[in-house]
Structure 1
Amino acid sequence: MIRRLLLLALAASVACPAQAQWRRDDKPIEPVDIPPSIQQGVDMIYVDPEIAPRVRERAGLMGELGIKYEPGAPIDLFQPVSLFYTSLRRGLQRYRSEWGGLPQVEVEAGPVLKPGAAGGRVAALRERLGLAPGDKYDAALARAVKRYQQVHGIKADGVAGAATVESLNRGAAHYERVLMVNLDRARTLPGSDEKGRYVLVDAGAARIFLVEDGKVTDSMKAIVGKAASPTPVMAAVMRYASVNPYWNVPVDLAKTLVAPKVLSEGLGHIASERYQLLSDWTADAEEVDPASVDWRAVADGSVELRVRQLPGANNSMGRIKFMMPNDYGIYLHDTNDKSLFGRAERWISNGCVRVEDAGRLATWLFGEMPAGKDPKVEEDVPLPEPVPVYITYLTAEGTADGVLFRGDPYDRDGALVGRYVAADDAEAAGG
């Protein structure tokens, strides 16, 4: 019962365009509160329990060995875990070595500090970054600032503006805890010893990774949910693809996008966009004449209308949807607007995952790009072998020479870091 409530809650909050406010059984979703364990952005919900990695088994083994799990523990040294965990854990070690031992002095807020500046704030900045005493913003300080910015996800210009000073004043302990949060997220992924293929969607990086026998074989950009409708941390089995798909327009977009266009441009807008109006959300819904619709009522929200876009070149779902049945209404899909992948900020969808190169993903999954019998008709093509899809949310990554922090577009890390601080304070008080 609890699992069902969680699924319904997330479906209501992150539903994507094709299934916006309706479940597969065509009954409306009523929103319920999501428990804190799900909101925190660490726990993964396994829609298909058989693809849950051996997290509990690993925990049991640690208990047998008399080892208590702690965030950041090198568990990969004695049992297989995700390659993402290993790279983050090594990154944590390097971070502590490079940044953890520096003087954690505070740099006062104030005007931007840049080459040529001098004074007490520059002296504090030099001390904070482990440079020789002095009060001049010289080339060595500019290089140190730039290196700090590169690691901490700040524009690397060698100039200490407000964002850089704020980051420095958080201290190394803060960023170590952020890495621990991400290690806990990575711990829920399949271990490097688990054979077979899976797709990993990292909503934190807005990127897709194709993993085979524990190794990344390919990756590509993704567009994921915006902060108001975040892509959930979940895992489900991809079982088929829908080629030449319809796009079921969310009710709110029918209100804010379709209806105003009809009111300003006339009914010709329905034909030009290749929209089809239907009586309801059931499988046997009847087509509705656009002239019979009260479009002003649709625009003001007093009438809800089902609108779908027919298959074709300009369809918002593109050529293919990759379907993993779940009550969240989440799936991966192509898109007809490839320009959006050129953006650095790709947290803009209603929750579903847009794929940069759907043809490449389809070829990896099927061996070729599947084609339907009729380009004007949506058709489901089953996968030869179902493939698990894991959606996580990482705000840091391990690199060859350390670690790289990213942004936190869903604003989840702060509360989690606060838990680590509280735990540290409680342990200190108990000691």
Structure 2
Amino acid sequence: MITPISHPVSALPLHQVSILGRTTNVTSNISTADNEHYAYVNHNNTQPDNLLPKNYLVSDVTVSKQTLQFSSRASYLNWLSVQYIWEDIVFPGLLRIGDRDPIVHEIHSRLILLGDSDEQLHLSNIYTAEIATAVRHFQRRHGLTADAVIGPDTLKWLNLNPLRRAELLSQNMEEKIHFMANLGDRYLLVNIPAYELLLSDHGEIALRSRVIVGKPKKPTPILTSEIKSIVINPSWRVPRSILEDDLLPKVQKNGDFFTQSNFKVFDYQNQKIEKSAEEWQQLANGQFPYRLEQMPGTNNALGRYKLYFPNDFSVYLHDTTNTNLFNNTNRALSSGCIRIEKVDELADWIANSLVDNKKLWSHLKFTRKTTKWFPLNDVLPVHLVYWTAWIDDRGLSQYRDDIYALQQ
């Protein structure tokens, strides 16, 4: 049990009081601030968690560094919510380096308070290169494109009040700390809102990869399972929902779509069906009575690899042919399955660590037509989690969009 013991808070340190935005007037006389209890240290890319009266932690158990960082950050945000008025900043357009506007001063003030800038605040309305550096740092912490352009998405996060920040951080970090405490040394973990996959081996992060997850209408489920096999050169049995929502509209426009995309059509007795382009177009406009399977090859939607794990949602991890989408900031784009950017590195690790028939694996790596399931000699736990706020390995608080509206 951790008990924070703090001295009363009255104001920011004296060197910061005169330069920052409107306070809640907890104190009207800055000379009453007791500097002995303040330990604000400016370091590049360090958030001002120590912009607090010094905390003396009393604990009868070992506390992890991340837990202490989270506790410190949440305490600071709660304190900030009491000390400062946090009204919405409103700007109808975009702000770029060199632009002038009175809100630049307020934006820079918030970047200092949130720890993204260690520059001195000036009474100026010019959006300078120094402020832009802080904006990029802020944008990276919130999963935004770090282009220093201040628009609606950046303002949305700047306007998130410190109390709500503390609530989100506390809710997610408490869940994360409890969850991670029960994991073994080897696992795959996908944080859905972060669009990120982590591979842990022997308690160390062996791989990080960007991923694409399910769109809000077809979300990736939160679950825990075990990967028991990997498929090289998989075929793809198209789910009925994807057939109706995504593929049949394409056939309505182009009757040769099935042939051009290497699909085969079967009835529900597994008999292959052949039709002309015109017949396929007609069938696509009605109750399509067949199932669809895409053969392995360079244009297969699953790419080179599929990682199967038992679940009730028919989702899995796989490669993709459309790698450009990994550059998108919003990567909630799939129908529920998870596409992996560094799938080749992950597959190589699995082959080296968990596949017995390495000779056959090496041979099939250089073909695209032959499908082969490789059972693993040990299961690989996989965890699909949903954390929209956390403390990262550098001690920085990270926030992401609640893409499935689960934390309203």
**TM tier, shorter chain?**
0.5 to 0.7
The AA in structure 2 aligned to 1:273 is S
CA RMSD of aligned residues (A): 3.9
Q: How many residues were matched structurally?
A: 329
Whether the 8 Å contact between 2:69 and 2:395 is mirrored in structure 1 is no
Alpha-carbon spacing, 1:88–1:332, altered in 2? closer, same or farther (3 Å): farther
- In structure 2, the residue matched to 1:207 is 196
Distance 1:80 1:278, change over 3 A: farther
Deviation of residue 300 (structure 1)?
A: 3.0
8 Å contact from structure 2 (residues 143, 329) kept in 1: no
Tell me what 1:336 maps to: 321
Counting aligned pairs with the same residue, the percent is 25
2:226 maps to 1:232: no
Partner of 1:105: 85
- C-alpha contact (below 8 Å) 2:251/2:284 kept by paired residues: no
How far did 1:198 drift? 0.7
CA displacement at 1:99 relative to structure 2: 7.7
Structure 1 residues 136 and 274, CA gap change in structure 2 (3 angstroms): closer
2:303 to 312, 318, 326: 318
Match of 2:348 among 363, 367, 375: 363
Deviation, 1:93, is 1.7
Q: Which residue of 1 aligns with 2:381?
A: 388
- The CA distance in 1 between the partners of 2:62 and 2:286, in whole Å, is 55
Residue 288, structure 1, aligned to residue 303, structure 2:
no
TM-score norm. by structure 2 comes to 0.67
Matched, 1:300 2:285: yes
Moved more, 139-148 or 310-319: 139-148
| CA-to-aligned-CA distance 1:279-315 (integer Å, 9 cap, x gap) | 12xxx62212234995356423423420111112221
Q: For 1:177, which of 141, 144, 167 is the aligned residue?
A: 167
Change (3 A) 1:79 1:157: same
Closer, same or farther: CA 160–357 of 1 in aligned 2, 3 Å:
closer
Determine the C-alpha separation between the residues in 2 that align with 1:394 and 1:106.
25
Alignment of 1:110-149 (within 5 A): 110-111=90-91, 116-118=100-102, 136-137=124-125, 142=131, 146=135
Q: Which residue of 1 aligns with 2:266?
A: 278
Q: 1:155-194 counterparts in 2 under 5 A?
A: 166-187=156-177, 189-191=179-181
Q: Do 1:248 and 1:309's aligned partners in 2 also have CA atoms closer than 8 Å?
A: yes
Q: Which residue of 2 aligns with 1:94?
A: 73
Structure possessing the higher radius of gyration over alpha carbons: 2
Greater fraction helix? 1
Equivalent-residue separation in structure 1 for 2:87 and 2:404 (angstroms) = 28
Long gaps (5+) in structure 2: 1-56, 114-118
SS in 2 for 1:101: helix
Letter in 1 for 2:76: S
1:141-169 CA distance string (max 9 Å, x none): 94797365554556667787655555455
The one-letter code of the counterpart of 1:381 is F
The Cα of 1:354 is off from its aligned counterpart by 0.9
Distance 2:85 2:334 in 1: 41
The correspondence of residues 231-250 of structure 1 with structure 2, limited to 5 A, is 231-250=220-239
Higher relative contact order (CA 8 A, sep 6+): 1
State the alpha-carbon separation in 2 of the partners of residues 150 and 206 from structure 1.
13
